[in-house]
Every structure is written in C-alpha cells, then in structure tokens.
Chain A
Amino acid sequence: KAGVTQTPRYLIKTRGQQVTLSCSPISGHRSVSWYQQTPGQGLQFLFEYFSETQRNKGNFPGRFSGRQFSNSRSEMNVSTLELGDSALYLCASSLAGAGVVEQYFGPGTRLTVT
C-alpha cells in the first residue's frame, strides 16, 4: 500500500506570496493532519480534517488554512508569506484521527520563504 505523499517536496517563495501544499493520504484513511516543523518551535499542530470537516485547529494565524476533498486528499494554503513561515510541513493520515489509531507521516514539503 502506498504511503502518504506530499507535493511538492521543496518550494521557494518570496515574502508576501501565497502557497498551496498538497497531501494524498494512505488509501482508506479519512483523517489528514498537518504539522509545521521548525528548529525553534519544533513540531506544531496546524489542523486536522476528517471527511471534509475540520475537527481541530492549532494556534496559527488565519493566514494558514486548509481543506479536505471528498477523496480524502488535503491541501493547506498559506497566504501573505512571512520569513518565519519557512519550515518543513508534514502531513499525516490515519483511519480515524490521532489517538488510539496511529498516524502515518509523509516526507514533508520544505518551504523556504525569501
């Protein structure tokens, strides 16, 4: 079974631009979560979607948004990019969301904002 895939793997953007990252979960998984990883703040939860509904959201500004499609694929969008948005963005999928059922992570998208 194929793992979680994220596209693109690497991205360079300029301050003020917007970016969209994509995540395809493992087949049959209906929950998709997004995390931001930076050297200073570590791994931080962005949001979680299940059957196209956002069930939880982390403490990030409104510039960070996401959505999930009917096939469980998910996208996250960051508008008006800031230098501090440079990070590794990780997507994770699971059958039912974090908790009893484990999450499987993709390789991440490395975003660099210049």
Chain B
Amino acid sequence: AQSVTQLGSHVSVSEGALVLLRCNYSSSVPPYLFWYVQYPNQGLQLLLKYTSAATLVKGINGFEAEFKKSETSFHLTKPSAHMSDAAEYFCAVSSNDYKLSFGAGTTVTVRA
C-alpha cells in the first residue's frame, strides 16, 4: 500500500519569495508521484508528475519538484511566489493499482 505525508498544513509566503511544499511518500513499488492544485470551489488541476523519466520535474506555472529516492521525498518548489499561487496543494502517489492516494493538503497564502 502506498501513502503520502505532507508536512505543514499551512504555508505563508511573501510575494516574490520561494515556495517550498514538502511531500514524503511510502510505497512498496516504484511510485508515480503527482502534485495537484485546487482553487476554491474548483476541482484539482495537475501541476506536474514523476514517472521515473527524470528526477527533476518541471510543471506548469513555474513549479518544479525533485524526486529523491533516498529520502522518499517529492518536494514542490517555485522560486518566486505570485498572488495567484494562493490555493491548496496536494501531493499524490499511485502504484499501478488505478488509484491515487492523496496527502492531507497544504494551503498556501501569499502576502503582498
């Protein structure tokens, strides 16, 4: 069985500052890892995915994540936060069982 732990339920950053959202996974088989973003009253939008092709994955809106097998981590970063980045972010893992297991989510607030 696979699972995901997101460290920090809330993160507050200043506009222009680095955004770092932490995700650690547990999986008995090589995982597929994803980051999704959810804006209020909307569904989930895929930011990026890791499928073993490259350890550094670039996604939409300037986000990227690095897969570190030794640390079982898949942290999400963005060099410079924008007000439009305020949302809830979910890390998810899949292990060839046709389902995603999500973390509890991290709410990002961006201060002007």
Give me the interface of A with B, judged by CB distance under 8 Å. 4, 31, 33, 35, 42-45, 48, 50, 55-56, 58, 90, 92, 97-100, 102-108
CA distance A98 to B31 in the complex (A): 11
Q: In the complex, are the beta carbons of B102 and A48 less than 8 A apart?
A: no
Known: A99-B32, A99-B94, A100-B32. A106 touches B43 (CB 8 A): yes
Known: A104-B46, A105-B43, A105-B44. A98 touches B99 (CB 8 A): yes
Residues of A within 8 A of B32 (CB): 98-100
Known: A100-B32, A105-B43, A105-B45. A33 touches B98 (CB 8 A): yes
Task: Choose one: A45, A104, A107; the contact of B101 (CB below 8 Å).
Answer: A45
Q: In the complex, are the beta carbons of B90 and A33 less than 8 A apart?
A: no
Q: In the complex, are the beta carbons of A50 and B99 less than 8 A apart?
A: no
CB of A57 to closest CB in B, whole Å: 9
CA distance A22 to B45 in the complex (A): 20
| Residue in chain B with minimal CB distance to A57 | B99
- Most A C-beta atoms less than 10 A away, residue of B34, B46, B99: B99
